[in-house]
Structure 1
Amino acid sequence: MTRTNWAAITAVVLALLFAGAATVASAGRDDAPRAAATPTADSAEAGFARDMAVHHQQAVEMSFLVRDSTDDEEVRRLAYDIANTQANQRGMLLGWLDMWKLPKVSTGQEPMAWMAEDGGHAGTGGTQGMEGMEGMDHGAHEVRDGSLMPGMATKTELDTLRAVKGKKAEILYLQLMTDHHKGGVTMARGCAELCEVDTEQALAEGMVTAQQSELNLMADLLKARGAKPRA
């Protein structure tokens, strides 16, 4: 079994343990709120899990590409951290979909549509206000050349990353990953606002904090190489 498979299995087990612990803790308190209903296929919880799993998979792919294209320890260390973290988070997201018995691929919903309208939200069954979420609508994103969501690299950009080496690979990776993280932060903020499953909401909030920190680091690494993030 590959290291990635082990990471995914471990993440699923952890997700199940967290869910079980939360249930036991709630059962022990008379004033604890009733557990939210299992998310539906078109809920924010399911939409975030599906879309972020796809988003994360590309980040892992790009990180492995740059690892093999440069000897620079700073960039390789960052790439390893991103690949390891996002592979584990992806395992958790897919594990929740399995636990909820929901499909991992939606054929009837466009990527990030769950951010624009909350369909069948767990625990409420209705819509929530989108105050403070301006700019989070996926509608302005043009799906083209393999870029399904904001921040995702195109197939052409990935081919270029495969071809370049050394400093050029470092700069392109940092620029592509900067765009990728910005898109990921937007999506994670959407789940932090809309998702009602505590563990998933906490994961989304953690993604925002971690990826913002990595955005600052990548800006410094680009500056050290005489480059800057793309406009």
Structure 2
Amino acid sequence: MSAAEVTSPPGPPDVDEPDDGGGGGWWSRSPGWARAVVVGGAVLVLLLAGGLGGVVLGQRTAPSYGPPPGAIDTGFLQDMTVHHAQAVQMAVWERSNTTDPALRQLAFDIESTQNQQLGMMQGWLRLWGLPTEAAPGQYMAWMGMPMAQMPGMASDADLARFRSQTGAPMDVAFLQLMLRHHLGGLSMMQEEASRGQVDVVVQLARSMVASQTAEVDTMTQLLAQRGAAPLPG
């Protein structure tokens, strides 16, 4: 409906339109513009009612998409968010500073994959109205073993040593830290893959196990080629 149709006063009835004898009632005797207003108003009411119903329905059903009470999925996502964030941090540093094409490609792959997974994990937690990280000192509580630091995580001293180096020593430090990091995270991924209750989270954990197992093999080989050994677990 144009602005002119809304603001202009109604014209006189169409004198050429034959009288239906009153059988059609008010609707048949009303001018076209009046019938259009009524129909438009009815459609608007239906749309508003539908939108309100959708909001109410969404409020009732949205929580059902999240983990049920007591499920390990929440703890896994919260802990793996922190675990992945450190891996990305190390990968970005290596990619930006190495001169070794093989190490630059590996770092880029880890950065890209884990950044994408980070976005998914944080997105689900926010959608479900849950914290994106576990409470301090409660890492691994979902596995029945609360601790202050997760397996494989590099310490501040580890990261400082890594960043202080250049060339081949930096590459070796990266491989050692990232290999230990991957191995430490695998136990959490395997636990979620076998015991999780939210299908999309279980599938994510399984894909993590597959990709990180392959990266563990690659990093082990790269370390051996450089005459270096993995760090103790």
Aligned counterpart, 1:90 = 118
TM-score (structure 2 length as normaliser): 0.68
**Once the two structures are aligned, what percentage of the paired residues are identical?**
40
Q: What letter corresponds to residue 174 of structure 1 in structure 2?
A: L
Identify if the C-alpha distance between structure 1 residues 183 and 41 changes in structure 2 by more than 3 Å, giving closer, same or farther: farther
Q: Are 2:179 and 1:182 equivalent residues in the alignment?
A: no
Aligned counterpart, 1:44 = 72
Q: What letter corresponds to residue 212 of structure 1 in structure 2?
A: T
Tell me the CA shift for residue 69 of structure 1.
Answer: 2.7
Write 1 or 2 for the structure with the bigger share of helix. Answer: 2
Identify if the C-alpha distance between structure 1 residues 151 and 49 changes in structure 2 by more than 3 Å, giving closer, same or farther: same
Q: 1:102 aligns with which of 110, 115, 130?
A: 130
Aligned counterpart, 2:169 = 168
**Higher-RCO chain (CA-CA 8 Å, sequence separation at least 6):** 1
Deviations 1:129-187 (A, max 9, x none): xxxxxxxx465xxx4xxxx2100000001011111001001100000001000111111
TM-score (structure 1 length as normaliser): 0.69
Tell me the CA shift for residue 43 of structure 1.
Answer: 3.4
Q: What letter corresponds to residue 47 of structure 1 in structure 2?
A: G
Q: What letter corresponds to residue 180 of structure 1 in structure 2?
A: H
Farther off after superposition, 184-193 or 41-50: 41-50
Aligned counterpart, 2:204 = 203
Contact persistence 2:154–2:181 (CA under 8 A): yes
Q: Are 2:103 and 1:75 equivalent residues in the alignment?
A: yes
Mark the runs of 5 or more structure 1 residues left unpaired by the alignment: 1-35, 117-136
Tell me the CA shift for residue 194 of structure 1.
Answer: 2.0
- Segments of 4+ moved more than 4 angstroms: none
Aligned residues: 170
Deviations 1:36-81 (A, max 9, x none): 7632576311111110010000000001111233200000100000
The secondary structure found in structure 1 opposite 2:132 is coil
The secondary structure found in structure 2 opposite 1:68 is helix
Deviations 1:93-131 (A, max 9, x none): 001101111111333870011012xxxxxxxxxxxxxxx
The secondary structure found in structure 1 opposite 2:97 is coil
Structure number with bigger Rg: 2
The secondary structure found in structure 1 opposite 2:134 is coil
Please give the alpha-carbon distance, in whole angstroms, between the structure 1 residues aligned to 2:69 and 2:160. 34
Tell me the CA shift for residue 217 of structure 1.
Answer: 0.3
Identify if the C-alpha distance between structure 1 residues 160 and 39 changes in structure 2 by more than 3 Å, giving closer, same or farther: same
Please give the alpha-carbon distance, in whole angstroms, between the structure 2 residues aligned to 1:224 and 1:230. 16
The secondary structure found in structure 2 opposite 1:80 is helix
The secondary structure found in structure 2 opposite 1:77 is helix
Aligned counterpart, 1:129 = none
Contact persistence 1:70–1:76 (CA under 8 A): yes
Mark the runs of 5 or more structure 2 residues left unpaired by the alignment: 1-63
Deviations 1:172-211 (A, max 9, x none): 0000001000111111011112211111001101111110
Please give the alpha-carbon distance, in whole angstroms, between the structure 2 residues aligned to 1:212 and 1:107. 28
How is 1:11-160 mapped onto 2 (pairs within 5 angstroms)? 38-39=66-67, 43-107=71-135, 110-116=138-144, 137=145, 143=148, 148-160=149-161
Identify if the C-alpha distance between structure 1 residues 38 and 70 changes in structure 2 by more than 3 Å, giving closer, same or farther: closer
Aligned counterpart, 2:17 = none
Identify if the C-alpha distance between structure 1 residues 163 and 153 changes in structure 2 by more than 3 Å, giving closer, same or farther: same
Please give the alpha-carbon distance, in whole angstroms, between the structure 1 residues aligned to 2:161 and 2:70. 36
